[in-house]
Amino acid sequence: MKKIPIISFLSLLLCFGLFSCKTEEKPVEQRRILVYCDEAIYNLMKPCVDHYDSTGTLVKVTFRKTTAWDAMAKLLARETDAIIIARDYTRYEDSLMKAFGVFPHTRLVLAYDALVFYVSKDSPLDTLTDEQIRNYLTNKNFSLKKFYKQLETEPTIVVNSALSSELVNLNQLVLKGKNIARPLKIFQSHDSVKAYVKSNPNTIGVGYLSHLFREPDLRALPISFIDSTGKYIFPHNVNQPNILRELYPYIVKHYIYVLDKLNDNSMTFARYLYNPGYAQKFFFENGIIPANAEFRLIEDE
């Protein structure tokens, strides 16, 4: 009988043992969180969410677009794990939370933007004052044409929907508690506002500086104003350095609100957007100010 070499025989036994003892690996359980995003900044945030999902994280994000008011309503109703919106609580929401004993949510500032008044490249307007904007919106008899003779007629103000963060920031940052008296042209998305302003030179759009990134046919109007110390600030171009210097009056914060700070899945996602990395760099490269970054501004001589 032919002898089988001992080494070969042992190898066969080892292989057989490995195959026979092999256990089926359990698939890694994937977790999901639901996040609603303010329509006004959805296009800004979506690439960051896509990148987060591409990193191999075990926590996947179901990311949905809605109005700022609806996003906040879902958070207060505990129907979402987190929301990303471009505004603070409103007085209505503050009162509602107080009435039902709801504490303010954990939130992080992700970036600084600006509420801007913008025009098409063919508009004769080149600047406005804070007081003129407020008076024009709250007094239907106030005339901008009186100050800017190059205007053919009084310009139409074009805004996003009544449920948008833009309108809340307009009320909080610009109107100072006064009611809007002038008729506004209202659309249901910020892209529709931009499209209308592009084709109508006698209009002023209300939106965010981030909306105008890579939009050569639109420009934000510099705004002069009186700062908190009583100092007059002459009109400056609306850009990152001047937002950092607070040389523009209407600075907006983009927040992520988290329903439960003890939810590691939600907090991991929130910290990804907040901590230095892809998201913060992306905000900077898209023309706004990342909240978690260091800057050195060099003043012109």
Domains detected in the chain? 31-111+253-290 (3.40.190.10), 113-251 (3.40.190.10)
The yes-or-no verdict on residue 235 having pLDDT over 50 is yes
Mean pLDDT of the 77-83 span: 97
Q: What is the pLDDT of residue 296?
A: 64
Strand, coil or helix: 126: coil
Q: Which residue has better confidence, 28 or 283?
A: 283
Quick one: tokens of 254? 């983009």
Least Cα distance to 182 among 198, 164, 207, 203 occurs for: 203
The yes-or-no verdict on residue 63 having pLDDT over 50 is yes
Overall residue count recorded for the chain in this entry: 301
Q: In whole angstroms, what is the distance from residue 201 CA to residue 170 CA?
A: 21
Q: For the segment 180-215, what is each residue's pLDDT rounded down to a tens digit?
A: 999 999 999 999 999 999 999 999 999 999 999 999
Q: For the segment 109-167, what is each residue's pLDDT rounded down to a tens digit?
A: 999 999 999 999 999 999 999 999 999 999 999 999 999 999 999 999 999 999 999 99
Lowest mean pLDDT among 13-27, 144-158, 227-241, 262-276: 13-27
Mean pLDDT of the 74-92 span: 96
Q: In whole angstroms, what is the distance from residue 237 CA to residue 190 CA?
A: 22
The yes-or-no verdict on residue 18 having pLDDT over 50 is no
- Residues in CB range of 146: below 8 A, 6 or more apart: none
Least Cα distance to 271 among 283, 280, 259 occurs for: 280
The CA radius of gyration of the chain, in Å to the nearest whole number, is 27
The yes-or-no verdict on residue 248 having pLDDT over 50 is yes
- Residues in CB range of 11: below 8 A, 6 or more apart: none
Q: What is the pLDDT of residue 56?
A: 85
Q: In whole angstroms, what is the distance from residue 28 CA to residue 39 CA?
A: 33
Q: What percent of the chain has pLDDT over 70?
A: 87
Q: For the segment 19-52, what is each residue's pLDDT rounded down to a tens digit?
A: 444 445 555 566 899 999 999 999 999 999 999 9
Q: What is the pLDDT of residue 176?
A: 85
Mean pLDDT of the 256-277 span: 96
Average pLDDT, the chain: 90
Mean pLDDT of the 231-259 span: 97
Q: What is the pLDDT of residue 106?
A: 97
Q: What is the pLDDT of residue 31?
A: 85
Q: What is the pLDDT of residue 25?
A: 56
Quick one: tokens of 203? 């209009």
Query: pLDDT tier at 177 (50, 70, 90 boundaries)?
Result: confident
Q: What is the pLDDT of residue 219?
A: 97
DSSP 8-state code for residue 209:
G
Least Cα distance to 117 among 165, 157, 171, 63 occurs for: 157
Q: What is the pLDDT of residue 224?
A: 97
For 66, 187, 246, the CA distances from 63, given in Å and listed in that order, are: 10, 23, 32
Q: In whole angstroms, what is the distance from residue 189 CA to residue 72 CA?
A: 18
Residue type at position 98:
K
The yes-or-no verdict on residue 11 having pLDDT over 80 is no
289 phi and psi angles, rounded to 5 deg: -105, 115
CA dihedral 58, 63, 68, 72 (to 10 degrees): -50
Residue type at position 186:
I
Quick one: tokens of 238? 């609306």
